[in-house]
Structure 1
Amino acid sequence: MNALKQAELVAEVWPGAALRSARRLTGGVSAQVYALEVAHSSGALAQVVVREHAPVESHYTAELEFLLLKALHSLDLPVPQPILFDAGCTLAANPFVIMTAIPGSSVIPTGEAFEYIDEMASQLFRIHQAPIQNLPALPSRLDPLPEVFEYLPTAAEWGGLKARLRALTDTGFKGAPCLLHGDYWAQNLLWEQGRITGVLDWEDAAIGDPLSDVVGASVELRYLFGREGMQRFIAAYSALSSVDPTRLALWQVYVAAAAQHFMSTWQLAPADEAHRRRHALASLHDAEARLGD
């Protein structure tokens, strides 16, 4: 979406308003995201975000994003308040959602990493406690098997793990399914003074086993803060909710295997990809060892 189109969009959505500034936000893969400052005719300034969906088929449509954010905002979760959506491409080349901007930074200070990790665990627990009755329809995420076999490395050293997994039966989640974020990591969180002000990018949201979220976040934290960061997060979440160690290991196999399988599509710098791949494979080895205990 170029500057002219952004200005036209502002004038169409807010008659009498003008686009004061715009900048592209980094980090989006499935969408182009822009921060706009809008000057209203009253003189008031507003900060908004436009999330323009990529022109590809996805279950996570602009309408679903709008409805999900609206529902989550009504539950007092720290998400942007949606303003409007355009699913018919009447105002832009692709569907988009306009939402309020949330102040904060995604940077976790190295010297305060454990305090931030504890807060991450607390916020994820609050997400998992949210009522799901009035949410829009979301995918289910209840069982790490059998999909994991598509992602496991093909090298012979993983044959024992594959055999152990194939011998398992009835690995579906038996508890009460909960709201899952699906991509809970540092770049999708905004912070101010050690508190989370925003949880962003809900495109992988689902209903299912909370441990899929716990493991996903812990593996991401391992990339940033090593095994100690991963263990700290799991311990902090475990202090709030009971954690089944076997299911935790199963989801760790799934998340780590999927990470190393898809990592080449994440547009990472070579050194960053190599670093993440090492930690993903180490997480896979750790999970294999726990399943063998």
Structure 2
Amino acid sequence: MPFISRHILEQIVERMQAGDTLIDAEPLIGGASAEVVLLNIQHVGGGTQKYLLRAHGDINRSRNADVARDEFKLLKILFAAGLPVAQPHYLDVSGELYPIPYLVLDYIEGATDFSPQNLADFIQQSAALLAQIHQVKPGQSLDFLADRIPHILWWIGYQPEHPNHELGEGQLREALRTLFPLKYMNAATLLHGDFWVGNFIWRGGKLVGVIDWEDAEVGDPLSDLSIARLDMLWAFGQDAMHDFTQAYQALMPDLDYSNLPQWDLFAALRPGGQVEEWAAPWAGYGRPDVTVTTMFEAHQWFVKQAFAHLNP
């Protein structure tokens, strides 16, 4: 996806608020999910402010042609409800200035933290935020979000040309086919869809934001919990995964957790052939200890414990 030219960015800023001017723009790493540009804007009435422009990548747009519109609507709802998300300000799906739909939202001051000094507090705050997200019940206001079940059906039915045998893709798909349909043991809630440490924004030791909502769906909250469990395992190990799970369960005691092993198996299927790609940035995060090898080993343990709890 080409970087948006300064000339186009200046026109976008003018459309957002007549008289505002672009001071500078900096492309940020958005991965495969989106092109992200940090905008520093001078307001016509005085003062400067930072914003993020997000233009979703091909993968997300092929899965959901309205992904920009949906993320914009969702962020408006969540910001109004008091969740720590960026306030959205502008949406353009017209293609007049840029051929790819984009949204502009507040820039949350802070940074990701891949090596927390106080891991116990990091885990507690992360679990509390996931619980807060799962307390959002899908009503009419969220009827534009997809249900998770069709997503699961797609993953189970998908037949990659080169299945990842180290991940045991075939075994996982076969197990999930025998378990399907995965029943919602809990009332459907909002799901973030990609709740991992790279999407947490920290400032002064506080978790002040969660970003990248393009994978949001509605469904059993355990499906989100399992995704977070695997990512906690990769980042910080087995004890951290267990501590995170227990912290979440203490905050959400009324949920039925009996289907957690099934959702763990679904979470284990998600990486597919992307483990090498997902492992590559960790050295740049200051964590060269997280490698393809450690991620595969952790994944194997995660699958083993899921099957063990599935068939005690």
- Aligned to 2:127, which of 121, 127, 139? 121
How many residue pairs align between the two structures?
A: 293
Question: Aligned letter for 2:63?
Answer: S
SS at 1:230 equivalent: helix
Aligned to 1:10: 13
Change (3 A) 1:170 1:39: closer
1:145·1:171 contact (CA, 8 Å) conserved in 2? no
In the alignment, structure 1 residue 230 sits paired with structure 2 residue 241: yes
1:125·1:240 contact (CA, 8 Å) conserved in 2? yes
Aligned to 1:203: 214
User: For 2:246 and 2:14, how far apart are their aligned partners in 1?
Assistant: 50
SS at 1:110 equivalent: coil
SS at 1:65 equivalent: helix
SS at 2:270 equivalent: helix
SS at 2:291 equivalent: helix
Matches for 1:153-164 after TM superposition, within 5 Å? none
Per-residue deviation, 1:98:
0.7
Identity %: 30
Aligned to 1:36: 39
In the alignment, structure 1 residue 190 sits paired with structure 2 residue 196: no
User: For 1:168 and 1:53, how far apart are their aligned partners in 2?
Assistant: 33
Per-residue deviation, 1:244:
4.2
Aligned to 2:23: 20
Per-residue deviation, 1:37:
0.7
Unaligned runs of at least 5 residues, structure 1: none
SS at 2:309 equivalent: helix
SS at 2:237 equivalent: helix
User: For 2:38 and 2:299, how far apart are their aligned partners in 1?
Assistant: 33
User: For 1:169 and 1:20, how far apart are their aligned partners in 2?
Assistant: 53
Question: Aligned letter for 1:107?
Answer: D
Aligned to 1:45: 48
Question: Aligned letter for 2:118?
Answer: E
1:181·1:206 contact (CA, 8 Å) conserved in 2? yes
SS at 1:239 equivalent: helix
Per-residue deviation, 1:260:
4.1
Per-residue deviation, 1:246:
3.7
Aligned to 1:254: 266
User: For 1:26 and 1:138, how far apart are their aligned partners in 2?
Assistant: 26
Matches for 1:97-136 after TM superposition, within 5 Å? 97-133=103-139, 134-136=141-143
Q: TM-score, normalised to structure 1's length?
A: 0.88
Change (3 A) 1:136 1:72: farther
SS at 1:36 equivalent: strand
Per-residue deviation, 1:141:
1.8
Report which stretch shifted further, 108-117 or 204-213: 108-117
Deviation per residue, 1:81-126 (Å, 9 max, x gap): 1111111111223110011111111114433112111111111111
Per-residue deviation, 1:247:
1.1
Aligned to 2:188: 177
1:83·1:100 contact (CA, 8 Å) conserved in 2? yes
Report which stretch shifted further, 169-178 or 265-274: 265-274
User: For 1:6 and 1:118, how far apart are their aligned partners in 2?
Assistant: 39
In the alignment, structure 1 residue 278 sits paired with structure 2 residue 297: yes
User: For 2:107 and 2:173, how far apart are their aligned partners in 1?
Assistant: 45
Aligned to 1:57: 62
User: For 1:66 and 1:8, how far apart are their aligned partners in 2?
Assistant: 20
In the alignment, structure 1 residue 240 sits paired with structure 2 residue 238: no
Aligned to 2:145: 138
Per-residue deviation, 1:34:
0.9
1:252·1:287 contact (CA, 8 Å) conserved in 2? yes
Per-residue deviation, 1:228:
1.1
Report which stretch shifted further, 22-31 or 136-145: 136-145
Change (3 A) 1:166 1:71: closer
User: For 2:106 and 2:133, how far apart are their aligned partners in 1?
Assistant: 20
2:185·2:256 contact (CA, 8 Å) conserved in 1? no
Per-residue deviation, 1:193:
2.5
Q: TM-score, normalised to structure 2's length?
A: 0.83
1:23·1:36 contact (CA, 8 Å) conserved in 2? yes
